A and B are shown apart, each in its own frame.
Chain A
Amino acid sequence: MAKVPVQFTLNGAEKAEFIDSGTTLLHALRDKIGDTSPKGGCHQGTCGGCSVIIDGELRLSCLTLAETCNGAAITTASGLSEGGVLHPLQRAFLDAFATQCGFCTPGMIMAATVLLDHTPNPSRDEVVEALSGNICRCTGYEPIIQAVLTAARSNSQNAA
């Protein structure tokens, strides 16, 4: 089996691995690099649990081949908090009781992160749209929407 080199930054840290050609980024992250925060809920691109941020864009790591990410900057949910301090979105998810089983949570937080990076003060419709590729079976979505709106409000208050 042909091994190919991949090199990218993951949550700011340089990563270089030899992987089997054709390996998805999801498998590379989870099985080779050891970041299990992206979840393989479907491997079809229909659940959003594996969402990561690649060069500022939300992507599904289950449908992305790792070797197409050479030189990229990748962010996962495990890399959001800094120095043990939770990211405002993570804080908001806690405060809003927006997690139950937690399996969709990393993907939801990735989707919300990209939204707030581009749209610091989103409307409810914009939040709904941003989360629309991510399935949650426990919460009924409302607490998650509220968490994102709350994080946005706290962001804008901090900026003000």
Chain B
Amino acid sequence: MELRKSYFADQRKDDLHEIGQPRPRSDSPGHVTGKTAYFADRNFPGMLHLKMVRSPHHHARIRSIDISEAEKHPGVVKILTAKDVPHNVYTILILIQIGPEDETVLADGKVRWKGEAVVAVLAETERAAQEAAAKVKVDYEVLPAVFDMEEALKPGAPTVNEYHGRNYYLYDSGECRKVRFGDVEAGFAGADHVLEQTYQSSPIEHAPTETTGCIVVPEGNDRFTCYTNTQAMFFTLDNASIILQMPGNKLHFVGGTVGGGFGGKVDVIVEPIAILGAKLTGRPVSFIYSREEEMQISSPRAAEKVVIKDGVMNDGRIVARKVTGYTDAGAYSRHSPYGAQKGAGHYPGPYTIPNVWIDTYCVYTNRTPSSAMRGFGVTIGDFALEVQMDKLARLIGMDPLEFRFINAYRDGDMKAHRQPTEGAALIECMQEASRAANWPVAEKYLSMSSYAKGV
């Protein structure tokens, strides 16, 4: 890695002692000796193991659940169904007033995605829990499922989630989050070229090497200690408190070093049910996702579809950009309404465009609920935007890097969401990339600056 201190030298103080120094990491000696304690590096006497019975169907009504055989299985201590969960229907963003509550901790009457949690089995050993789980009988009536966002948005599509009653999230702005800036149609009308293209992605897993999990220990004083690898301690504690209808002061969350997160450990998914199990049995409970669960059950990065329509002039100026973004939330909201909205705030990218129209939708389908991941709401949008930029440059016969200089935002430029640009540095990054990659651009671009025009 090279630090190029020549850029923005006037804005940076270099009189610091500790900041800017490559100090060794204090946690590394623990890592290399295997001494770092992760949540699962604990073993408690009498600890029970929780295994989840999951839906084999993408969408089905639950006619009945029979746990009688499973309950008798040797080693089984407790079996939990929806009726055991005090506040079974929840949504994690309720903490920042983004509702409605739309997800069941344990399925109640219906499953909406293949892999949804239905029954929790607590047993003395993992093997006993697995064996008992195989004896839980769930009678399903399979329902039509919808997997494609376009299909889901059509009239007559199966309703994925009755708590929404429609297959998209309803924002206060309507069926999508909107950004309106200038007159995009006038921009297209005056453009030398108009290019509309569609981009698509499929779900992506965080794949941390340590799977999601927790160990809950009853402390004997009506408090429960939850050793967890959540990325957000209080967020998880407060949601668990709501789901369990248990005052927050009864809960003690302990994290520590987490074996990778990447956004995959911000759902509140293992802790509430494990705490409930510990409460109802009075014993420590371990609930740790298998790798299979981590891959297919834990929320992935949402699949997205992004439609970009641009008006561009032969001189390289983009004069209008219309983006319609669709986020595939899967069966439940989790963080997806927020992610789709974050996309609306990100488009049209780091470019100054006078006429902008953004609609971002959060769509429900019968698949594993998606949620946050590194670059949430932006990663796939950036793929779409930057491939589109390449296409636009080639459309008008311009070098793709020079084309970006022409449109790059600078300090003071008004963004589509009506904030003036501050602290821009796109131009300087491109200047340095031009040098590093030996990708020559005209001198006028090398002498540009992100500082406000005329400064």
Contact = CB atoms under 8 A, between A and B. Distances in A.
Nearest to B36: A102
A93 B32 contact: yes
B72 interface: no
B265 to A, nearest CB: 11
A94 interface: yes
A136 interface: yes
B31 interface: yes
A37 B31 CA distance: 9
Q: Find the residue from A77, A81, A93, A99 having the highest chain B CB count within 10 A.
A: A99
A43 B35 CA distance: 21
A40 B31 contact: no
Contact of B209 (A22, A90, A93, A101): A101
A104 B210 CA distance: 9
B211 A41 contact: yes
A135 interface: yes
B43 A31 contact: yes
Contacts of B62: none
A35 B206 CA distance: 28
A94 B32 contact: yes
Contacts of B127: 22
A90 B33 contact: yes
Given A43-B290, A103-B260, A137-B207, A37 B35 contact: yes
B209 A94 contact: no
B209 A137 contact: yes
A70 interface: no
B209 A37 contact: no
Interface size class of B (residues with CB under 8 A): 20 to 34
What secondary structure prevails in chain A residues at the interface with B? loop
Contacts of A13: none
Interface string A6-48: 0000000000000010100000001100111111111110110
A35 B41 CA distance: 9
B27 A43 contact: no
A94 to B, nearest CB: 5
B210 A109 contact: no
Contact of A86 (B25, B33, B125, B290): B33
A137 B208 contact: yes
Nearest to B264: A137
Contacts of A39: 38, 209-210, 259
A158 B127 CA distance: 49
B32 A101 contact: no
A22 B32 CA distance: 30
B453 to A, nearest CB: 38
10 contacts: A37-B35, A40-B40, A41-B210, A41-B259, A49-B209, A101-B208, A101-B260, A135-B209, A137-B207, A137-B262
Interface of B: 24-25, 27-38, 40-41, 43, 125, 127, 206-211, 257-260, 262, 290-292
Interface of A: 20, 22, 30-31, 34-44, 46-47, 49, 76-78, 80-81, 86, 89-90, 93-94, 97, 99-106, 109, 135-138
